[in-house]
Amino acid sequence: MAVTPRASPSLATAQSFEYRLQRTPVGVVLLDADLRIRSVNPVAMRLLAPPGQRLTGVDILSLHPGEARDKVAFLIERARTSQDGTSSLVVTTAMGTLVAKVSRLEAAPDAPPDGFLMMIHALVEAPMMGRTPGADLEVDGLAVAGAEAMAALCPLMKLPLVRGKGDLISLIDVTEVAFLVAQGHYAEARTATFSAFCPRPLADLERRLDPGQFVRVHRRYLVNMRHVRAAAREDGGWHLVMADAGETRVPVSRGKVEDIRRRLGV
């Protein structure tokens, strides 16, 4: 996909945009010929629907507000009619700035489309390509006007937790969390007094929590540095003793040791 700014930003800025784009998670949506959702991957689910909402059978256009809905409809129609069966577009929605690409699915040559495959990149840094508010981008030759790019995943001030039975989701201040540990596709939050299931992936939480306070010290652990009680060297590796109820010893990956030691002054 060729992305060309009208304002001709520097090569370094363009490369920075491409770098962020390649590192963002990709949402994948499979649509039928009537634009109803057949299936989605977890990233697309987080981008397109609030927790608990089912997307199967939903019209993809109904998930987008006004102006963005028209752009998405145009994007899909362009994939339907283009010679190579693909199109791409930058869309600014209520959830942030998305780079979307649609590919036409064909059951047989010269037959009507069997459906569409949509891939969505959520840009998590702003402003995009260093542009000013109201500036245009040109994507695959198509000019797209939009507001100033905003974060696609806004910072978390509260952490959603499921405690006990039922559908009630508790919310606690993120400052109360000592650390988060990956549990399959989701996470477990540990505090000074309790632990609870968090219905968000650890990678998503890492992006949305303050990086000056929450640090990914290990592939399974995201630590609130304000709740580190002690640091210990054991069996040739470093561990952080946390201020949770069980005083858990969290392992520090070898590549993270120097950063953590600098942060703690040890």
Flag whether 118 is in a domain: yes
Confidence of residue 2 (pLDDT cuts 50, 70, 90): very low
Confidence of residue 191 (pLDDT cuts 50, 70, 90): very high
Residue 42: is the preceding peptide bond cis (ω within 30°)? Answer: no
For the segment 153-157, the average pLDDT, to the nearest whole number, is 70
Do residues 74 and 21 share a domain? yes
Smallest CA-to-CA distance from 242 within 175, 191, 206, 205 is with 191
For residue range 21-56, what is the model confidence (pLDDT) as tens digits? 445 567 889 999 999 999 988 878 877 776 667 888
Flag whether 240 is in a domain: yes
Do residues 105 and 164 share a domain? no
Flag whether 152 is in a domain: no
Do residues 97 and 213 share a domain? no
pLDDT of residue 127: 35
Instruction: List Cα–Cα distances, 158 to 230, 235, 241, in angstroms.
Output: 26, 36, 24
pLDDT of residue 147: 34
Do residues 177 and 122 share a domain? no
* Host domain of residue 94: 3-145
Do residues 7 and 115 share a domain? yes
Q: Does the predicted model carry a pTM greater than 0.85?
A: no
Confidence of residue 177 (pLDDT cuts 50, 70, 90): very high
Q: How many CB atoms lie within 10 A of CB 109?
A: 5
pLDDT of residue 195: 92
Contacts 24+ apart (CB under 8 A), 57-65: 59/34, 59/35, 60/29, 60/31, 60/35, 60/36, 60/118, 61/35, 64/91, 64/93, 65/93, 65/94
d(CA 258, CA 266): 10
Last residue of a domain, one of 123, 145, 167: 145
Q: Give the total number of structural domains in the chain.
A: 2
Do residues 72 and 186 share a domain? no
For the segment 92-120, the average pLDDT, to the nearest whole number, is 74
For the segment 111-123, the average pLDDT, to the nearest whole number, is 79
Do residues 188 and 127 share a domain? no
Instruction: Map tokens 């590796």 to a residue.
Output: 237
d(CA 100, CA 72): 9
pLDDT of residue 107: 65
pLDDT of residue 25: 67
Flag whether 150 is in a domain: no
For residue 60, what are its two tokens? 């993809």
CATH number at 73 reads: 3.30.450.20
Of how many residues is the chain composed?
Answer: 266
For the segment 135-163, the average pLDDT, to the nearest whole number, is 52
The strand pair at 113-122 and 37-40 is best described as unpaired
Flag whether 9 is in a domain: yes
109 against 69, higher pLDDT: 69
Do residues 86 and 111 share a domain? yes
For the segment 187-214, the average pLDDT, to the nearest whole number, is 90
d(CA 251, CA 211): 18
Do residues 137 and 43 share a domain? yes
For residue range 240-250, what is the model confidence (pLDDT) as tens digits? 999 999 999 99
Instruction: Map tokens 């930003």 to a residue.
Output: 9
d(CA 128, CA 248): 40
pLDDT of residue 126: 37
